[in-house]
Structures are given as C-alpha cells and as structure tokens.
Structure 1
Amino acid sequence: MLSQPADREVELSPVLLAAVSREHYGIHFDTIGERWWMMSKVPAGFEDLLRRPIVGVLATVTPHGSPDQTPMRFTWDGAHLRMSHTIPRRKFTSLQANPNYSFLITDPDAPSRVLEAQGWLVTVKGDADGSFYSTLNELYGEPEKGLPADVNDRVVLLLDATRFIAK
C-alpha cells in the first residue's frame, strides 16, 4: 500500500510501482529484496548546496553497464531533486533501465566541500510547454536563454533522495 505525507504528492513510474513503496517518515521497503532502510537527512551545514543554483553531476549506469555522468541543473523540494531532460537522450533511457542514481554537488566557493545524494527515479512528468525548463533558467540567472529547440520532448525527472554523503 502506498502511503505518503498529505502535503506531498508523489507518483511512481510503472517500473518502480511494483518494486518500491514509500511510507511515512522516509522509511522505504523494497519488496523484491525485502530490505528496510531510513531516508538519511541532509548533513548539517550542507543544506545550502541543495538551495543554491549550482550545476551538479548526475551519474547513472547505461543499459550496457557503463557509467554515465552529466552536468545537470536542478531544484530541491526537501525530498526530491527535479531536473529537466528530454526523452530521446541516453540519460533518460539509462534511468528507465536502472532508476538508481548518484548526484554530486561541489561548492564552487569551496571545491573541497561536496555533497552526494543517492536514490532512484520516482517518476517522469511531461514539460512540453517548457515551464520547468524556464523555471531553471530563472533560478540559474539565464532568463533570456529561452526555450530549447527540443522543448516538445522535455520532461521533468523527479528523483527521490534516500541517502546523503558529505565529502
């Protein structure tokens, strides 16, 4: 049974719906491996890295097993990372084949201050009008950038962050 706090609406992709359920307080149960774990909190003093307009590096594994890293702009809502992407690209197909990810954020003002978020893809939402892409442009100080040519293929990746590591 799927359960989440009333103030958060979370959709699971069909691939994950059979494998993962989300319970209150960040407790997760993996029905395939029958493991329980707690969602870790952002380490004290590192919260700003999730709020600032910093380009992080999203790492995934391709369907062929190779690592793949891509610089990504993002937003953080306290439980999920949101990123703009397109359906035809390799990163999207990699996350569909294996929803696990690692996201590395390096403080541009102190490069030895690094936060890693780990988790899995929760869902993908359409963004064919480019509204989320435009929001990222505003947050990252590029409002004049406009919409890309591939706007019709745009989606929002909603990534559940279940573990944080301060490096």
Structure 2
Amino acid sequence: MLSQKTRYAIRAMQHLADRHGQGPVPLSEIAETQNIPAKFLTVILSELGRQGLVASQRGRDGGYWLALAPAAITYGDLIRIMRGSLALVPCASRYAHEKCTNCLEEGKCRTRALMLEVRDRTAELLDSIRLSDRIDSVPPFAASDSDK
C-alpha cells in the first residue's frame, strides 16, 4: 500500500498540475483543498523541490508550482521519489534490493518471481500515466464490493 506521505504528494502534485501556468499556488490553498496538514505538506513539497519537480517563491505573493510541465512527470516518478520503490517486497526492488529474511534462496523463490512480474507491470502502467492525463473520480465501492 502507498504511504500517507505518498498519497499526499500525489494529491498535491495533481493540484499543482491543475493550476499549471497560473502562477504560484499558496500552500494554504493546497492544504485546504486537498485535506493535507500544512506542516506535512511543507515537508513533502520541499522534498519534491529537491528532486526538481516543484519550485517555490517566498513572500506574500509566493507559493508553489510545478518545475516541469505536467506531461513530463509520471506517477511512477512520484511514487519512486516518495516511496523509493514500486516493489511490494524488498527482494523484487530494482533500486533498493534487499534479500528477504526467512525466505528461500532467491533463485528458487516463486513468490519473488511473481512479485518481479507485479513490479514490472506496475512500473509499466505508472510510467505511462502522466500528471497531464485526465483521471476522473469514481464512485465509492458498495458494501458488497469491499469483500472482493
């Protein structure tokens, strides 16, 4: 599952993408509209700024904006920056690989093979969707859907 920090980062970046080209967006607007604690949002936007995705201006007319065009930023980029990996288990991570404790030898582990496939397909999908792509909201799951 995505961490709360990663979900906040995605929502903040979607907000900035929606306002792309309209000048600096105040932190308070992003925090209020996206229901993100302002202090936590500051940390997230600073981290995204260090990675070159967000720029900022201090002062009365200051705020944040995307440092790149929304078409240049994929959801895969965002998740890797905030989470470090798309893999569900450490032994399937391409950039943060670690051997699992209490597991089979990697070359014999079919769970690892499955998780590598999941990682690759997830990366393919997330790297194909950009902040500029339209993503519509969907209705909540019905009670019977949540059991699946």
Shorter-chain TM band: under 0.3
Identify, as 1 or 2, the structure richer in helix.
2
Point out the structure with max Rg over C-alpha.
Answer: 2
Q: TM-score, normalised by structure 1?
A: 0.22
